[in-house]
């Protein structure tokens, strides 16, 4: 079964415009520093930059050599240095040291720092404190959004998650607001905005302020609705193993900025191959949203079809053959190449995933989600830790256990933690502190009943002063209430029923029918109800902070006119997984609408947890 | 209507009229005699300094400021030096040029604003003469020094003094001079006897006006038109020469037959006028000269002052204020006696119509036959604009409206906007307001500027009415006026903070685009901090509040506002400001109450100032975080002793934080580190920094079983872990002997299936088989399958009568080789199911 788009699905706006805007501005900025110059680029900006302006374009604008920012002394001999960086204190400090050492050496150079997507006051403070403020010129490259695919837009800010949710540093809030503002100014305004989460609220506020400052444009909107959601509303989903093809590829090979590098074991040669994974890749486009168990069947069918197409050659006369070579052969060859790659990838994944370990892992995950046989799960996790199977996976299971069970019993908490530290070193003491702060891994407070906790949460939500400003950081332990939520929203289908993964009946298929992603379910529910009414109980359990605002453009006259009303923009603050994207695509097909995902970065369980590690780094 | 032309005087082809604007409201004892007078163009205010030449300090001259209608605006005794000249800037500020070259700037209300100097040398050489002029660059001042040199400042808001070159042969003060603006430059035109020179930045160029009558031996007076395009010269022979100001073209020359030097001369020219004309004033006499030989002569009762305007000349005397201008074309067409112009006919038609006479139709027909009706309407509308009497305006507009009825496609905009403009003009011309603008001036000046002037005169209600009436966008109109009003209001010292804050908020409540922070800044500048804070409360954008709050040293408030704004840059701004402003203790205390700021600052410290971070935790007695801090610091440390010392600090902190678990774990770590080092020294095995698990694995893999056992005991490692670990380590080493010994040492806490699996993993089926028998019954099938013993698996499965296990085995059988086995299994399954 290949998912084909519904005939009546609305068309998507053309996001390549965003790339063009970013490229033009970058070129403009580069031209501000005339003459030959060496360009230093933040490592994590390399891939996004490549998607906007490749080396040839950079060279055309007098960029001589390209370097990666490595926070080490540099070897450049150019008299003009240009730095293209994220606004990070560390990097700015490195540049300051560089300038100062040049000064000591009596060397004169021109320095220009281009911050993207914006500059922060803190960075300028560092320049000032290091006494080089007058020696460098600074600029902003407002590159907010990178379109990864037709329906995925990324801010490419993986640090958003840690900065915002762990460190309480809200500097990226305005960035997210500006990104929305950019979308709005290019593609028209929205008729309705929903959101949940503290950060979502702040992003909306910042966006609203930008809207009020700027002129109002009365344009036909290209999106109907916007949904903002904080990552910490739903931690369960990104912690689960992904089993949809695209998610699985990400989990195993790590998709970076829309492309993946397949190693020799996949390509069955001695070279690695870099492949772009998006809707341009016909083969990939058909399997990306499929449950992994269907992929092989599909691929072999595809291979057969391909063979038939090749076989057409037999019995052709010269003329037909000529046409065949001219029109079809190239496409077939291309398809052939991609097909063999994906088959290779599938095989490689199959090898890893059919192992007993992985099966046990999935089984544990599903039991946790269902709340069955918890004791056995704990034993399994313990074994997992003791055997040093995987640092991240163990942590992931611990977190899942804690969230689904509303924290660990004190005894379990201590023993599991102790075992983990024995396996992976004491520095993870800090990792655990981080996880506790985020509410990912907690100890149940002795003697505290659920009701006490709930009334506490309830109080906090109503207490305005607290709700207004400081709630997130008060070490207020966030209750996950997963079990109750799951019941209320029917996230876990009744066990025992057969779930045919070939014909998915709901979004649960992205987790083998075991669990509907909470984030996506919320979106579905809110869109269905056109607001939060009827979900009061749910939002209370999610710590409130939900909102729904009717936007500037009146929905009444726009409703009948365009497809736009059926396009929904979903912004994940803190990252989203490919599984969620697949689930939303499924939902879109079911409802005849399209979802566009805007995320601060693509994430998965490994990235999420790695962001919270504190070992030595 | 016969009266309309009563004040008209013909001059050549056209007519001139003198309209009375106001009867002056002031009550001057000696009129304008012996006074320095300056009136601002565009119906601006009038400044008067009586007895300015008196040098005795006993009788100080009085400086008075009036509106154009003579209503007093300000009055105060002049205490500064001797004033040579008064003048107004484009923004209605009063300039007083003193003898010593100092220029004092006052506002409309007599409030001192600032002063500047036209050059240091002037304190010696003194100012001889001075002129204040307007150009596209603002208001300028030109002075002639006692040393007979000119100094020029083109824009008093951005003073750049320019000394112009010397005029050759100048012995005393020149007979007359004027400032020109040409080629984007201000120049001075000087007449020395019959010689004329143009002074610019670099040179002094002699010039001759073309066709100047030869009788003249000296030029006694000159004036430049409002637009700087035309120049008029008066010679000692009584001739007025008129031409373009670039002295390339002569327009006319008229003999006035008066040889005495005049008091004042001004251009009286409308844009698009038919002829050049100038007004020359002597004592008691005013002459208008044009192209023809004849002149118009008016008698003056009183000392008067001429104020050149864009479209005429205002004449201010001790009692009256009049406007002299060429009659505009449209008015002339309509009101000229026996005029047959379409406008005149339309006016007539309307008159008849009101009399209910059929003649109205005749007139209309006459216009329509020539298809000039739209032209007629246009004329009437235009003429209405140029008339000062509301009655006349109404008559003309009614006629226009009447004419419009017979037109189908006439665009209404002109009519509508004229009605609106006139309503506004009549309002500002009112005696109490005193801004006698003509329609032409109004259009040149723009509504924006008019509103500014009204605001400047504190006529807020009128300004708002005008904005509303003209439907000026709120942001530029009403809101702006309200903001100015509020800025003025907050400076009223007599009212209490509460009253003002309330009044301001009530008035400004629903106005769009009001910046309360600007108003608050004003309040703060006038020393009312409390009021400023109150006003800031109304500012919806918290970001706007912060800079002022900081300026007012209300840092805690600034901090919380910055946080509220959600703009981290702003928070950083405040935090960095506070860091430098407060002592460390207070600074930390303040951060403590603001978690957002604190976490931002921590982020900053993490990279910039590690030690500050520690101090912060110390201040808060946050032992938990301190512990974490030390742990983090420990693994940056290379030397083991230092590392252990840091960990010890961490342990202390954890105990203080009552976090026994972390404390114990850290202590364990210290123990482990010491152990690792000891072993490193003894055995030369790299161990330091490994986790307990990895340490044990390493020890086992190099055969240091005893030491591994010791760790196992010392650190109370769970049995299961130790077994897993040892199992893996031995298998890794392929030390099958040791493994077997280990397996037999006691009953395995992890069962024996892992033994089987680990052997298979290392491709040792032989060893694996050794453990199969030890596996628990539940795992037997798996174990057999793992070693590939189908028979055994089948045996075990059948024995356990477990359906799913039988199926598992079946699925692994191949149809060709295990035929018999499959049959057996199928049978067993059947019975299992039955059961």
Tokens of B173: 């003060």
B665-670 average pLDDT score:
86
pLDDT reported for residue B676:
86
A90 neighbourhood in chain B, CB within 8 Å: 607
**What is the number of other CB atoms lying within 10 angstroms of the CB of residue B361?**
12
Last residue of a domain, one of B174, B207, B240: B207
DSSP A291: B
Instruction: Tokens for A297, please give them.
Output: 């069947």
Q: Is the pLDDT of residue B63 over 70?
A: yes
Give the mean model confidence (pLDDT) for residues A58-77.
Answer: 87
Over residues A369-375, mean pLDDT: 85
What is the tally of helices (H) and strands (E) in chain B? Answer: 32, 29
First to last CA, chain B: 125
The percent of residues above 90 in pLDDT, for chain B, comes to 17
Nearest CA in chain A to B697: A423
pLDDT at res. B272: 78
Determine the 3-state secondary structure of B381 from DSSP.
helix
Under the banding of pLDDT at 50, 70 and 90, the label for residue B56 is low
Residue B215 near residue B228 (C-beta atoms within 8 A) = no
Cβ contacts below 8 Å, chain A against chain B, sum to 128
The helix (run of H) or strand (run of E) holding residue B549 is helix B542-551
Q: What is the DSSP string of A105-155?
A: TT---EEEEEESS---HHHHHHHHHTT-TTTEEEEE-----EEEETTEEE-
The reported pLDDT for the residue numbered A442 is 86
Most confident of A273-287, B310-324, B794-808: B310-324
How many whole angstroms separate alpha carbon B757 and alpha carbon B775?
Answer: 11
- B54 and B197 in one domain? yes
What average pLDDT does range B628-654 have in this prediction?
85
Interchain contact B735–A (C-beta under 8 A): no
Map residue B750 onto helix, strand or coil: coil
Q: Which two tokens stand for residue B550?
A: 């900081």
Q: Print the domain residue range for B126.
A: 31-207
Tell me the percentage of chain A whose pLDDT exceeds 90.
Answer: 21
Q: Give the closest residue to B381 by CA, choosing from B349, B417, B351.
A: B417
CB distance A421–B568 less than 8 Å?
A: no
Structure-model confidence comparison of residues A473 and B248, the more confident one? B248
Tokens of B704: 């240091």
Question: Are A126 and B575 within 8 A, CB to CB?
Answer: no
pLDDT score recorded for residue A460: 45
Closest CA to A116 of A149, A153, A141: A141
Please indicate if any CB of chain A lies within 8 Å of the CB of B693.
Answer: yes
Across the range B166-187, mean pLDDT stands at 87
B300: left (phi over 0), alpha (psi -120 to 50) or beta: beta
Size (chain B), residues: 835
Identify the pLDDT of residue A387. 82
pLDDT at B545: 78
pLDDT at B279: 92
**Token pair for residue B201?**
């930045």
Query: Residue B229: is its pLDDT beyond 50?
Result: yes
Q: What is the pLDDT of residues B128-155, one digit of tens each?
A: 899 999 888 889 999 998 888 899 998 8
Listed in order, the ranges of chain A carrying CATH 3.90.830.10 are: 245-354
- List, for residues A204-244, the tens digit of each pLDDT value: 988 888 887 765 555 556 667 899 999 988 999 999 999 89
pLDDT in tens, B280-316: 999 889 999 988 888 899 998 888 999 999 889 999 9
- Give residue A456's pLDDT: 45
> How many domains, in total, are found in chain B?
2
**CB of B19 closer than 8 Å to CB of B429:** no
What ipTM was predicted for this assembly?
0.76
Q: Is residue A576 helix, strand or coil?
A: strand
Length of chain A: 617
Q: What is the pLDDT of residue B806?
A: 76
B196 compared with B830, residue with greater pLDDT:
B196
Mean pLDDT, range B442-462, rounded to an integer: 89
Query: Mean per-residue pLDDT for B782-805?
Result: 76
Q: What is the pLDDT of residues A393-426, one digit of tens each?
A: 899 999 999 988 888 888 888 889 888 988 888 8
What is the sign of the dihedral through the CA atoms of B676, B677, B678 and B680? positive
Q: Which two tokens stand for residue B658?
A: 């009552």
Is B130 inside a domain boundary? Answer: yes
Confirm or reject contact between A208 and chain B (CB < 8 A): no
Give the residue-averaged pLDDT of A46-73: 88
Output phi, psi for A518, to 5 deg.
-55, -45
Residues of A in Cβ contact (< 8 Å) with B689:
425
Whether A469 sits inside 8 A of B563 (CB atoms) is yes
**Residues in A touching B720 (Cβ below 8 Å):** 382-383, 386
Contact B685, B679 (CB under 8 A): yes
Last residue of a domain, one of B410, B441, B470: B410
A173 neighbourhood in chain B, CB within 8 Å: 566, 568
Calpha distance B701→B74 (Å, rounded): 101
Provide CB contacts within 8 A for A481, sequence distance 6+: A406, A541, A542
> What pLDDT was estimated at residue B749?
80
Q: Is A216 on the interface with B (CB under 8 A)?
A: no
A434 touches chain B (CB under 8 A): no
Question: Is pLDDT at A603 greater than 90 in this prediction?
Answer: yes
Q: Establish if B464 belongs to a structural domain.
A: no
Question: H helices of A312-373, where?
Answer: 318-323, 329-353, 356-370
**A554 pLDDT higher than 60:** no
User: Are A383 and B566 in contact (CB < 8 Å)?
Assistant: no
Residue B516 lies in a domain: no
Residues of chain A with CATH 1.25.40.850: 357-476
Fold of the domain spanning A357-476: 1.25.40
Helix-helix angle B497-508:B529-536, to 10 degrees? 30
Q: Which residue of A has its CA nearest to B570?
A: A121
Query: How far apart are alpha carbons B305 and B83 in whole angstroms?
Result: 18
Q: Does one domain contain both B52 and B200?
A: yes
In chain A, list all ranges with CATH 3.40.50.2060.
32-142
Other C-beta atoms lying within 10 Å of the C-beta of residue A68 = 11
Q: Which of A483, A608, A605, A606 is nearest to A239 (CA)?
A: A605
Whether residue B278 has a cis bond before it, omega within 30° of 0: no
Mean pLDDT in chain B? 84
Cβ contact A417–B661 (<8 Å): yes
The answer to whether B313 and B296 are in contact (CB under 8 A) is: no
Residue A449 pLDDT > 70, yes or no?
no
Q: Report which secondary-structure segment, H or E, holds B22.
A: strand B14-23
Domain membership of residue B573 (yes or no) is: no
Does pLDDT of B573 surpass 90?
no
Beta strands A567-573; A225-230: pairing state: parallel
Region of A586 on the Ramachandran plot (φ > 0 left; ψ -120 to 50 alpha; else beta)? alpha
- Residues from chain A contacting residue B691 (CB–CB below 8 Å): 421-426
B94: in domain: yes
Q: What is the pLDDT of residue B268?
A: 87
Over residues A572-600, mean pLDDT: 92
Rounded CA separation A375/A428 (Å): 24
pLDDT tier, A559 (very low <50, low <70, confident <90, very high otherwise):
very low
Q: DSSP labels for A194-244?
A: EEESHHHHHHHHHHHHHHHHSPP-----S-SEEEEEEGGG--HHHHSPP-B
Kindly state the average pLDDT of the residues A571-598. 92
Chain B interface includes A5 (CB < 8 A) = no
CATH number at residue B58: 2.130.10.10
**Alpha-carbon gap, residue B668 to A617, rounded angstroms:** 22
Q: Chain A residue closest to B574 (CA)?
A: A121
To the nearest 5 percent, what fractions of chain B are helix, strand and coil? 45, 20, 35
- Residues within 8 A of A (CB atoms), B 655-674 only: 661-662, 665-666, 668-669
Q: Which residues of A, range 441-470, sit inside 8 Å of B by Cβ?
A: 468-470
B19 domain-assigned = no
pLDDT in tens, B574-612: 888 888 888 888 888 888 788 778 888 887 887 777 778
pLDDT at A257 over 50: yes
CATH architecture of the region A32-142: 3-Layer(aba) Sandwich (3.40)
Which element (helix H / strand E) includes B177? Answer: strand B176-182
Nearest chain A alpha carbon to B721: A386
Q: Is A130 on the interface with B (CB under 8 A)?
A: no
User: What residues form DSSP beta bridges with B511?
Assistant: none
Tell me what pLDDT residue A217 has: 55
Among A109-118, A594-603, B52-61, B755-764, which stretch is predicted with the lowest mean pLDDT? B52-61
Same-domain pairing of B43 and B190: yes
Q: Chain B partners of A169 at a C-beta cutoff of 8 Å?
A: 568, 599-600, 603
Among A96, A122, A433, A442, most B C-beta atoms within 10 A, so best to mutate, is A122
Query: What pLDDT does A574 receive?
Result: 92
Residue B717 domain-assigned (yes or no): no
CATH architecture of A245-354: Alpha-Beta Complex (3.90)
Q: Is the pLDDT of residue A451 over 60?
A: no
Instruction: For an interface test with B, give the residue of A71, A121, A177, A432 to mutate (most B CBs within 10 A).
Output: A121
Contact across the interface for A429 and B599, Cβ inside 8 Å: no
Please list the residues that pair with B18 across neighbouring strands: B324
Please give the order of strands across the beta sheet that includes B278-282: B264-267, B278-282, B285-289, B295-299
> Do B690 and A202 make contact, defined as CB atoms within 8 angstroms?
no
Band (B496; pLDDT cuts 50, 70, 90): confident
Which pLDDT does position A5 carry in this prediction? 57
What's the rounded Cα separation, in Å, for the pair B40 and B310? 12
Residue B350 lies in a domain: yes
Contact yes or no for A141/A84 (Cβ under 8 A): yes
User: What is residue B624's three-state secondary structure?
Assistant: helix
pLDDT in tens, A156-182: 999 899 888 888 778 888 899 999 988
Q: Using one digit for the tens of pLDDT, what is the confidence trace for B86-97?
A: 999 988 899 999
User: Using CB atoms, which residue from A93, A174, A470 is nearest to B607?
Assistant: A93
Distance CA A279, CA A9 (A): 16
Q: Is B761 exposed, middle or buried (0-12, 13-18, 19+ CB in 10 A)?
A: middle
Question: DSSP assignment, residue A355?
Answer: S
How far lies A418's CA from each of A482, A612, B662, B695, in Å? 26, 18, 9, 16
pLDDT of residue B222: 92
Whether the predicted pLDDT of B515 surpasses 80: no
Tokens 């030369």 belong to residue: B684
Cis amide prior to A117 (ω within 30 degrees): yes
Q: What's the pLDDT at B728?
A: 83
Look at residue B691 and tell me whether its pLDDT is greater than 80: yes
Chain B residues close to A199, C-beta within 8 Å: none
Higher local confidence (pLDDT), A184 or A557: A184
Is the Cβ pair A171, B569 closer than 8 Å? yes
């Amino acid at each position: 079964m290949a998912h084909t788009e519904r005939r009546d699905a609305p068309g998507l706006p053309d996001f390549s415009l965003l790339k063009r805007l970013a490229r033009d501005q970058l070129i403009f900025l580069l031209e501000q520093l005339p003459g030959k110059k060496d360009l230093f680029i933040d490592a994590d900006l390399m891939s996004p930059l490549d998607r906007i302006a490749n080396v040839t374009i950079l060279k055309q604008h007098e960029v001589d050599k390209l370097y990666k920012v490595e926070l080490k002394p540099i070897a450049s001999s150019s008299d003009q240095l240009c730095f293209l960086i994220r606004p990070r204190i560390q990097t700015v400090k490195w540049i300051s040291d560089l300038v100062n050492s040049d000064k000591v050496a009596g060397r004169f150079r021109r320095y220009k720092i281009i911050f993207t997507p914006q500059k922060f006051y803190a960075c300028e403070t560092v320049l000032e404190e290091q006494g080089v403020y007058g020696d460098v010129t600074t600029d902003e490259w407002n590159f907010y959004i990178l379109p990864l695919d037709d329906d995925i837009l990324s801010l490419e800010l993986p640090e958003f998650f840690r900065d915002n949710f762990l460190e309480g540093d809200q500097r990226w809030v305005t960035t997210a607001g500006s990104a929305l503002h950019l979308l709005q100014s290019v593609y028209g305004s929205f008729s309705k905005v929903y959101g949940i989460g503290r950060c979502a609220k702040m992003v909306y506020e910042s966006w609203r302020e930008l809207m009020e400052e700027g002129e109002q444009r009365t344009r036909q909107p290209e999106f109907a609705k916007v949904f903002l959601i904080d990552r910490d509303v739903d931690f369960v989903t990104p912690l689960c193993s992904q089993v949809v093809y695209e998610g699985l590829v990400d989990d195993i090979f790590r998709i970076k900025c829309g492309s993946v590098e397949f190693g020799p074991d996949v390509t069955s040669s001695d070279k690695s191959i870099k492949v772009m994974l998006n809707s341009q890749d016909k083969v990939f486009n058909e399997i990306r949203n499929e449950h992994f168990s269907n992929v092989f069947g599909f691929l072999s069918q595809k291979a057969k079809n391909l063979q038939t197409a090749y076989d057409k050659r037999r019995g052709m006369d010269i003329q037909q053959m000529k046409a065949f070579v001219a029109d079809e052969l190239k496409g077939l060859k291309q398809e052939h190449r991609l097909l063999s790659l994906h088959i290779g990838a599938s095989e490689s994944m199959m090898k890893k995933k059919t192992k007993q370990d992985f099966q046990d892992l999935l089984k544990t995950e599903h039991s946790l989600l269902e709340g069955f046989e918890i004791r056995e799960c704990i034993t399994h996790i313990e074994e997992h830790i003791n055997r040093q199977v995987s640092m991240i996976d163990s942590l992931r299971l611990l977190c899942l256990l804690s969230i689904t069970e509303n924290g660990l019993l004190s005894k379990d908490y201590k023993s599991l933690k102790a075992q983990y530290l024995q396996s992976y070193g004491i520095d993870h003491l800090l990792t655990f502190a981080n996880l506790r702060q985020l509410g990912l891994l907690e100890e149940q407070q002795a003697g505290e009943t659920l009701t006490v906790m709930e009334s506490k949460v309830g109080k906090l939500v109503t207490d305005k002063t607290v709700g207004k400003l400081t709630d997130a950081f008060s070490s207020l332990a966030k209750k996950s209430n997963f079990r109750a939520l799951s019941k209320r929203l029917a996230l876990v289908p009744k066990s025992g029923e057969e779930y045919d993964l070939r014909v998915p009946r709901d979004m649960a298929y992205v987790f083998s029918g075991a669990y509907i992603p909470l984030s996506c379910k919320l979106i579905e529910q809110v869109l269905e109800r056109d607001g939060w009414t009827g979900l009061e109980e749910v939002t209370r359990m999610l710590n409130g902070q939900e909102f729904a605002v009717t936007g500037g453009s009146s929905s009444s006259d726009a409703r009948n006119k365009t497809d736009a009303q059926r396009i929904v923009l979903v912004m994940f603050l803190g990252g989203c997984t490919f599984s969620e994207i697949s689930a939303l695509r499924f939902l879109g097909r079911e409802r005849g609408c399209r979802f566009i995902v805007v995320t601060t970065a693509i994430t998965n369980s490994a990235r999420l947890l790695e962001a919270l590690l504190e070992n030595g780094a | 209507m016969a009266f309309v032309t009563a004040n008209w005087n013909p001059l050549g082809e056209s007519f001139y009229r003198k309209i009375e604007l106001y009867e002056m409201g002031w009550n001057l004892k000696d009129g304008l005699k012996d006074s320095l007078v300056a009136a601002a163009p565009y119906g601006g205010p009038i400044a008067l300094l009586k007895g300015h030449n008196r040098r005795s300090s006993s009788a100080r001259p009085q400086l008075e400021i009036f509106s154009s209608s003579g209503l007093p605006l300000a009055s105060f005794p002049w205490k500064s030096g001797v004033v040579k000249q008064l003048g107004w800037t484009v923004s209605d500020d009063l300039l007083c040029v003193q003898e010593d070259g100092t220029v004092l700037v006052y506002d409309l209300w007599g409030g001192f604003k600032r002063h500047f100097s036209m050059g240091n040398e002037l304190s010696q050489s003194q100012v001889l003469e001075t002129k204040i002029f307007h150009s596209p660059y603002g208001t300028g001042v030109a002075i002639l020094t006692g040393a007979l040199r000119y100094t020029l400042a083109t824009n008093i808001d951005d003073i750049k003094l320019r000394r112009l070159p010397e005029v050759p042969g100048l012995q005393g003060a020149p007979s007359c001079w004027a400032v020109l603006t040409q080629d984007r430059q201000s120049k001075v035109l000087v007449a020395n006897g019959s010689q004329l020179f143009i002074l610019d930045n670099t040179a002094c160029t002699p010039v001759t006006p073309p066709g100047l009558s030869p009788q003249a031996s000296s030029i006694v007076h000159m004036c430049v038109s409002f637009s700087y395009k035309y120049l008029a010269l008066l010679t000692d022979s009584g001739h007025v020469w008129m031409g373009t100001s670039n002295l390339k073209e002569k327009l006319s020359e008229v003999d006035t037959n008066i040889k005495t030097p005049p008091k004042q001369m001004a251009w009286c020219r409308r844009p698009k006028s038919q002829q050049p004309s100038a007004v020359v004033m002597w004592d008691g006499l005013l002459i208008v000269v044009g192209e023809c030989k004849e002149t118009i002569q008016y008698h003056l009762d009183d000392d008067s002052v001429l104020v050149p305007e864009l479209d005429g000349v205002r004449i201010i005397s001790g009692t009256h204020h009049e406007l002299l201008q060429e009659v505009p074309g449209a008015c002339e067409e309509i009101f000229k006696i026996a005029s047959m112009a379409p406008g005149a006919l339309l006016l007539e038609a309307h008159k008849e119509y009101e009399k209910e006479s059929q003649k109205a139709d005749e007139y209309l027909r006459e216009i329509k036959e020539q298809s000039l009706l739209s032209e007629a309407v246009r004329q009437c509308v235009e003429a209405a604009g140029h008339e000062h009497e509301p009655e006349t305006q109404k008559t003309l507009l009614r006629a226009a409206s009447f004419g419009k009825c017979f037109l189908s496609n006439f665009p209404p905009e002109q009519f509508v906007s004229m009605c609106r403009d006139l309503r506004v003009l009549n309002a500002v011309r009112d005696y109490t307001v005193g801004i006698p603008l003509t329609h032409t001036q109004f259009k040149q000046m723009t509504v924006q500027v008019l509103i500014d002037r009204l605001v400047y005169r504190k006529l807020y209600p009128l300004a708002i009415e005008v904005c509303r009436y003209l439907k000026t966008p709120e942001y530029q109109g009403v809101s702006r006026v309200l903001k100015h009003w509020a800025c003025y209001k907050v400076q009223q010292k007599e009212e209490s903070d509460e009253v003002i804050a309330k009044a301001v908020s009530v008035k400004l409540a629903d106005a769009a685009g009001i910046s309360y922070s600007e108003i608050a800044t004003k309040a703060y500048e006038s020393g009312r901090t409390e009021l400023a804070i109150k006003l800031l409360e109304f500012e919806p954008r918290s970001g706007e509040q912060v800079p002022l709050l900081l300026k007012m040293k209300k840092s805690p408030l600034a901090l919380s506002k910055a946080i509220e704004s959600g703009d981290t840059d702003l928070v950083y701004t405040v935090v960095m400001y506070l860091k430098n402003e407060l002592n460390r203790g207070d600074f930390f205390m303040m951060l403590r109450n603001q978690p957002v700021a604190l976490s931002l600052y921590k982020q900053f410290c993490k990279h910039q100032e590690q030690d500050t971070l520690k101090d912060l935790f110390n201040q808060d007695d946050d032992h938990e975080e301190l512990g974490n801090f030390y742990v983090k610091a420990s693994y940056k440390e290379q030397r083991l002793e230092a590392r252990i010392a840091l960990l010890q600090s961490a342990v202390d902190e954890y105990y203080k934080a009552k976090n026994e678990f972390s404390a114990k774990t850290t202590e364990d770590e210290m123990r482990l580190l010491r152990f690792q080092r000891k072993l490193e020294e003894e055995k030369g095995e790299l161990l330091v920094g490994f986790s307990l698990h990895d340490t044990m694995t390493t020890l086992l893999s190099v055969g240091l079983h005893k030491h591994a056992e010791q760790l196992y005991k010392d650190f109370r490692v769970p049995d299961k872990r130790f077994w897993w670990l040892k199992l893996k380590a031995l298998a890794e080493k392929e030390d099958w002997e040791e493994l077997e010994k280990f397996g037999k040492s006691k009953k395995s806490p992890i069962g024996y299936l892992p033994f089987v699996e680990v052997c298979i993993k290392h491709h040792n089926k032989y060893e694996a088989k050794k453990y199969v028998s030890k596996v628990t019954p539940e795992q037997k099938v798996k174990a057999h399958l793992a070693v590939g013993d189908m028979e055994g698996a089948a045996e075990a499965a059948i024995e356990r009568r477990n359906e799913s296990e039988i199926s598992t085995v079946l699925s692994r059988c191949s149809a060709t080789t295990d035929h018999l086995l499959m049959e057996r299994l199928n049978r067993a399954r059947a019975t299992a199911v039955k059961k």
